[in-house]
């Protein structure tokens, strides 16, 4: 990202006593008097101006980038503003016409016929991708065995042919799901950019049923909108995907008595004549057609298109078989298995939007089983097991409202917790679970100011109360001061957020105050 340059700063006048001639001058004079006339020192960072508008796309076709900027306004004794002066985002133009010259080729071609290397000799230049820095304009002299670097490529140049990353200020940057280059924003399992997996539910089960005869048996309905689909088993049975026209579930089909499997060396085959050996699972789309492993034939391993997503079907040398699909699915799919031997268990899982879970339950009843209750993101993973009947829950008394938290503002409070804590870091709150008289937060560590032992990217932070003070809101960034708590027997190692401790919403100003606090801790 862009760096702050001295010429981009705007200094306000130092302590002055010129008589104001407007309300604005009066306010500025009052501010100057409070910070200068009383002997105070202007500390902390300056203030950013609002972001400017986005520029036009750097490319006339294909992928490019737009940029916007801001300026730092500060007094002479203030620190520089924290953050970047420029922000870049992807922009998508119509596809380039066939035969159009790529952007990097065009930049090299600008030097064709011009003398370089201190001689009058000229060359024709084409891109060279074997140099260390892909964001330098490295061009190969046509018909010669040398290349020359003409400096940086223009912003928005792809780092390499076919790459999604773009060069910005000499660095190769990838875009987050928010479209900003250099961003670490990623989609959660629900498909939400920067989400915390709280808008969908995790459905997971092991299908252990076995019919009285060999044939196709329903395993599960995979509803429209499902993501991160996975199904696997270890047996001579085979998985597959099917569907039914009009949304109904096809019934199990039976192999004729005395049928046999006619296979080929490439793993494909069909049932014919005598008794079959392998068993097969099938995947069918919503139009009633099998996507793979249907009509008594084993499909080859590979990638298949189904319901708007790609299904990757792998079959190992042994009895292991796996189906994976990123989703989201655009229509219902039906996972089936063609049983030819006892079923050792078929594991399947997927993430489903909360609003689709009710219809999914109703449709699943048609398949003859009741799925295990899906687990929200905040619930600990449970071991795979067959579905059980869940008894009705007894009403839980409403807990008493939480009392107000004590005031924890002020410089002294910040110094006390910064200097006395084992860890001070910036983190985003992803999840919250209340357990008995404790509250557990799942956080993503983004920036570490102080640590006495390594921190992982994802951590749990514990607050010793059902009503933690201060409370942390989901999907917000905080500056946290935590202590390390290890149980006497060594079985628990926790990050503890003390009651009325230091937990403040992150902001550039608070970031600067924390950095200043670090200078005042005793050695």
The CATH number for 200-245+289-367, chosen from 3.30.70.270, 1.10.1040.50, 2.60.120.830, 3.40.50.2000, is 2.60.120.830
Above 90 in pLDDT, residue 374?
A: no
The pLDDT value given to residue 364: 67
Above 80 in pLDDT, residue 498?
A: yes
CA proximity to 93, closest of 66, 57, 55, 54: 57
CA separation for the pair 305, 135 (Å, rounded): 36
Q: Quick one: 192 exposed, middle or buried, by C-beta within 10 A (0-12, 13-18, 19+)? A: middle
Q: How confident is the model at residue 519 (pLDDT cuts 50, 70, 90)?
A: confident
Q: pLDDT tens across 312-335, in order? A: 888 776 677 888 898 898 888 888
CATH class entry, domain 411-520: mainly beta
Beta bridge partners of 180: 89
Above 50 in pLDDT, residue 381?
A: no
CA separation for the pair 66, 232 (Å, rounded): 44
Q: pLDDT tens across 103-131, in order? A: 999 999 999 988 887 778 889 999 999 88
The pLDDT value given to residue 425: 92
Q: pLDDT tens across 35-44, in order? A: 544 444 445 5
The ranges assigned to domains in the chain are: 51-185, 200-245+289-367, 411-520
Above 70 in pLDDT, residue 17?
A: no
Q: What is the mean pLDDT of residues 2-9?
A: 42
CA triplet 258, 263, 264: central angle to 5 degrees? 160
CATH class entry, domain 51-185: mainly beta
Q: pLDDT tens across 433-487, in order? A: 887 778 889 999 988 888 877 788 888 898 887 788 888 999 999 999 998 887 7
Q: pLDDT tens across 21-34, in order? A: 566 666 655 655 55
Q: 206 versus 452: which is more confidently predicted? A: 206
Q: 320 versus 355: which is more confidently predicted? A: 355
The helix or strand, by DSSP H or E, that contains position 262, with its residue range, turns out to be strand 261-263
Q: Tell me which of 251-260, 395-404, 436-445 is least confident.
A: 251-260
Above 60 in pLDDT, residue 214?
A: yes
**470 upstream amide cis, omega within 30 of 0:** yes
Give the whole-number percent of the chain exceeding pLDDT 90.
Answer: 14
The pLDDT value given to residue 140: 92
Q: How confident is the model at residue 16 (pLDDT cuts 50, 70, 90)?
A: very low
Q: pLDDT tens across 485-496, in order? A: 877 766 677 888
Q: Tell me which of 22-31, 44-53, 148-157, 328-337 is least confident.
A: 22-31
What are the backbone angles phi and psi of residue 193, rounded to the nearest 5°?
Answer: -70, 120
Beta bridge partners of 312: 303, 324
Of 142-156, 253-267, 275-289, highest mean pLDDT: 142-156
């Amino acid at each position: 990202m862009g760096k702050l340059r001295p010429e981009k700063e705007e200094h306000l006048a130092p302590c002055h006593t010129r008589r104001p001639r407007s309300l604005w001058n009066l306010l500025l004079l009052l501010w100057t008097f409070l910070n200068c006339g009383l002997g105070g020192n202007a500390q902390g960072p300056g203030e950013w101006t609002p972001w400017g508008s986005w520029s036009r796309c750097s490319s006339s076709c294909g992928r490019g980038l737009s940029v916007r900027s801001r300026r730092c306004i500060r007094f002479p004794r203030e620190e520089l503003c924290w953050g970047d002066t420029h922000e870049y985002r992807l922009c998508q133009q119509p596809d380039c016409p066939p035969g159009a010259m790529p952007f990097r080729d065009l930049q090299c071609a600008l030097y064709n016929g011009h003398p370089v290397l201190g001689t009058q000799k000229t060359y024709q230049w084409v891109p060279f991708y074997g140099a260390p820095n892909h964001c330098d304009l490295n061009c190969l002299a046509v018909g010669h065995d040398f290349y020359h670097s003409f400096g940086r490529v223009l912003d928005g140049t792809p780092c390499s042919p076919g790459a999604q990353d773009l060069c910005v200020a000499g660095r190769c940057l990838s875009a987050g799901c928010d479209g900003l280059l250099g961003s670490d924003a990623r989609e959660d399992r629900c498909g939400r950019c920067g989400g915390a997996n709280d808008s969908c539910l995790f459905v997971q089960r092991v299908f252990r049923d076995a019919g009285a005869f060999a044939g196709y048996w329903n395993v599960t309905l995979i509803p429209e909108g499902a993501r991160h689909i996975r199904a696997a088993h270890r047996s001579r049975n085979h998985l597959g995907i099917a569907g039914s026209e009009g949304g109904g579930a096809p019934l199990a089909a039976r192999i004729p008595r005395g049928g046999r499997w006619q296979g080929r060396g490439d793993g494909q085959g069909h049932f014919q004549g005598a008794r079959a050996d392998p068993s097969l699972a099938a995947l069918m789309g919503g139009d009633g057609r099998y996507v793979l492993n249907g009509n008594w034939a084993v499909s080859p391993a590979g990638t298949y298109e189904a319901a708007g997503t790609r299904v990757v079907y792998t079959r190992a040398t042994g009895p292991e078989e796996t189906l994976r699909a990123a989703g989201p699915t655009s229509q219902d799919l039906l996972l089936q298995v063609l049983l030819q031997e006892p079923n050792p268990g078929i594991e399947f899982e997927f993430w489903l939007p909360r609003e689709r879970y009710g219809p999914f339950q109703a449709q699943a009843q048609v398949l003859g089983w009741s799925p295990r209750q899906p687990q929200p993101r905040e619930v600990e993973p449970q071991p795979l097991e067959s579905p059980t009947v869940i008894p009705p829950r007894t009403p839980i008394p409403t807990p008493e409202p939480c009392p107000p938290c004590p005031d924890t503002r002020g410089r002294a409070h910040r110094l006390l917790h910064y200097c006395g804590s084992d860890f001070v870091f910036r983190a985003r709150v992803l999840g919250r679970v209340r357990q008995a008289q404790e509250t557990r937060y799942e956080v993503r560590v983004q920036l570490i100011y102080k640590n006495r032992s390594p921190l992982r990217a994802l951590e749990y932070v514990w607050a010793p109360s059902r009503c933690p003070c201060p409370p942390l809101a989901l999907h917000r960034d905080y500056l946290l001061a935590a202590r390390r708590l290890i149980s006497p027997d060594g079985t628990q190692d926790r990050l503890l957020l003390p009651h009325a401790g230091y937990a403040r919403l992150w902001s550039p100003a608070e970031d600067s105050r924390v950095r200043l606090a670090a200078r005042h801790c005793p050695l």
